[in-house]
Chains A and B, each alone.
Chain A
Amino acid sequence: MADVPEELRYSKSHEWVRIEGSQAIIGITDFAQGELSDIVMVELPQVGREVETGDSIGVIEAVKAVADLYSPISGKVLEVNTNLSASPGTINSDPYGEGWIAKLELADPSEAEKLMDAAAYKEFLATEGH
């Protein structure tokens, strides 16, 4: 079973969000990294870019598959995890920790409420037939 930490929020496109005041850290979920398997390249979001929920902000390439990274929340990209350029596999080994992808300044912190909590995401994974 994929790991779904209690304290995070989740999107239907399998990104996670960790809210820290007016900022948020985002990444892809354990389920998503497992589906992609061996990630070998990450095109990171552009620092300074204003993004809206659902925007394609990066690309994740695994050996056999390629997936867009969608922003789970609106805001401005403050920082990206440049370590992923050299070690993209970190997303596989530690998707919620060292495998974080970007830090955003939130446009509207209340937007987080629209995302799924851990219980809802677990339910989503179960009902989506994964």
Chain B
Amino acid sequence: MDKKTPFYDKILEAGGRMVSFAGYQMPVQFEGLIAEHTRVRSSVGVFDVSHMGRVEVKGSQALDFLNYLVTNDVSSLDMYQALYTAMCYPSGGIVDDLLIYRLPDHYFVVVNAANNEKDQAWMREQAKGFEVEIVDRTDAIAQLAVQGPKTPEVLAKLTSANLSDVGFYRGLETELAGVKMFVSRTGYTGEDGFELYFPAQHANLIWDKLFEAGAEEGIAPIGLGARDTLRLEMKYALYGNDIDKQTNPIEAGLSWVVKFEKEDFIARDVLLKVKEEKPSRRLVCLEVQGSGIPRPHDVIVSDGTEVGQVTSGTFSPSLRKGIALGYVKSEHTKSGTELLIRTRRGEVAAVVVKPPFYKEASRK
């Protein structure tokens, strides 16, 4: 039996076509994937992301614990700042990718929906010996992502806080539509936007106020389908597709979230070795030349030899062509390299390009 987020009734009312996703009933689309995608790129859309896992980490050693647990440097965080990071197994494989916020009396961690249970079990196991408390807040706190260049205009109608002063990956506690909440300038689309975290009992009120305030800007709900095409155009990795237990952050292009200069952390030595010896494969962006659409598991070929595999592939609504992410042997990862992708409809030519695929996003 799937769970429902606090917005379930509102989403049904808005015409969401529901699917089972990570143990939740979630909308895959509303008006249509391309229309929703375009709406976020040009104006503003609302994603219910309450299916994601939310966890509080507190206690006198919360910082020490988190800095041991994840690859990025949690001690670098200012108050109300967010950090994107990987969390690895000792093997270097990825447990999950996550966001960590520094709040006044705890750290607030947001993890992928499909990994929530696994992550919390992993965190509790690693927490042995640390003076920390790990509290599941998934059900108690609702989460909405309001994304698109017109987001600041819409939210300004609901709060007296000066959101335009909030930097990227920064946040603040404020009142919005009369509800005290935490608001951060984060998202998974490449566009300007904010994520709202508030007590789940206010879900209906916030949903209604948001759509009322954004009517003029053409605000609309967005499904999982467009969420995926938006993130893929930005080369944001998706756990389960592009990263997982069998991949490490170095080959996934996430070296920027691995801070070797901080104190010891899980998988440090393994990852350092990978970095020094250079990974044998890397996650690259592939843009199709012509009319094919790559799909996950399609084989990538060079001179008749298999050199990699597609992990995410789609038709890009912004570029109007097929795009893909895939792991490719390191000698074929230079931008401009021409490769072939074996799709269901035959081999299509593709070229390695620099990320992101979509370069006009309001926030990259």
Contact = CB atoms under 8 A, between A and B. Distances in A.
Given A37-B29, A37-B32, A38-B32, A61 B315 contact: yes
Contacts of B314: 63-64
Interface residues of B, number: 15
A63 B229 contact: yes
Chain A contact-residue range equals: 10 to 19
30 contacts: A37-B29, A37-B33, A37-B225, A38-B32, A38-B33, A38-B34, A38-B315, A38-B317, A40-B293, A40-B315, A41-B291, A41-B293, A41-B315, A61-B315, A61-B345, A62-B315, A63-B34, A63-B225, A63-B229, A63-B314, A63-B315, A63-B317, A64-B33, A64-B225, A64-B228, A64-B229, A64-B314, A66-B293, A66-B344, A66-B345
Contacts of B295: 66
A50 interface: no
Nearest to B343: A66
A41 to B, nearest CB: 6
A12 B101 CA distance: 51
Interface in A81-103: 92
A118 B228 CA distance: 35
Given A38-B33, A41-B293, A59 B317 contact: no
From DSSP, what is the main secondary structure of chain A's interface residues?
Answer: strand
A43 B225 contact: no
Interface of A: 37-38, 40-41, 43, 59, 61-64, 66, 92
Contacts of A41: 291, 293, 315
Contacts of A63: 33-34, 225, 229, 314-315, 317
A38 B229 CA distance: 12
Contacts of A38: 32-34, 315, 317
A40 B34 CA distance: 10
Nearest to B228: A64
A50 to B, nearest CB: 21
Given A41-B293, A61-B315, A63-B33, 14 more contacts: A38-B33, A38-B315, A41-B291, A41-B315, A43-B345, A61-B293, A62-B315, A63-B34, A63-B225, A63-B229, A63-B314, A63-B315, A63-B317, A66-B295
Contacts of A61: 293, 315, 345
Nearest to B291: A41
A38 B33 CA distance: 7
Contacts of A59: 344-345
A90 to B, nearest CB: 14
Contacts of B291: 41
Contacts of A92: 32
Interface string B31-57: 011100000000000000000000000
Contacts of B229: 63-64
A41 B34 CA distance: 14
